[in-house]
Amino acid sequence: MDIRWAAAGLTTLVMVCGCGSSQSGVSAADLAITHDVRRGADEIRTTHDRKTLEAQLGRVVARLRATRGSTAVVERARAAALAGFVLTRKGVRSQIDFMENDSGEVEAATVHARRADLYLKRGANRIRAAGAALGLRIDDLDGY
């Protein structure tokens, strides 16, 4: 009798754990958006070469533009993430301009540095807001 109860318990456990998935009810587009936001944030944190980062962010932006969320919440998060990555890319471009064009030109260097800081800060805030809406915790994004 004990073996039957153990077998019934084990069968029930397997059925409960095996039925459905942890992402049930979530569309493939929503998962792709979440994945792109996570990937973009990771690239900002780990890529130190500004030109490489600019190209990577361009790919993230293209993927987010091509995808639509299945719910209003995910669509708002996608739009916020898209805006955040576009702003971050502008900030990275300003950093590149600062490094390439501003040697000895204090005024131009100041303009590019301020612009980079503004875009990177605003971009990071929007990316964090999008992450929060998608259930992701996004902390520091390369100092912002």
- Cα separation, 131 vs 135, whole angstroms: 6
* pLDDT bracket for residue 4 (50, 70, 90): low
Structure confidence at residue 24 (pLDDT): 57
Higher pLDDT among residues 106 and 122, named by residue? 122
Specify the pLDDT at position 105. Answer: 78
pLDDT tens digits, 7-17: 444 444 444 44
Residue in 110, 67, 59, 66 with CA at minimum distance from that of residue 85: 59
User: Are 31 and 67 a contacting pair, CB within 8 Å?
Assistant: no
The amino acid occupying position 97 is: D
pLDDT in tens, 37-66: 999 999 999 999 999 999 999 999 999 999
- Compute, in degrees rounded to 10, the torsion defined by CA atoms 96, 97, 98, 104: 140
| Residue with the two structure tokens 């995808």 | 67
Do 54 and 96 contact (CB within 8 A), yes or no? yes
Q: Is the pLDDT of residue 19 over 60?
A: no
pLDDT mean across residues, the chain: 84
Q: What would the two tokens of residue 44 be?
A: 């900002």
Out of 7-21, 25-39, 45-59, 114-128, pick the least confident.
7-21
Q: Which parts of the chain fold into alpha helices (H)?
A: 2-18, 28-46, 50-66, 72-101, 106-133
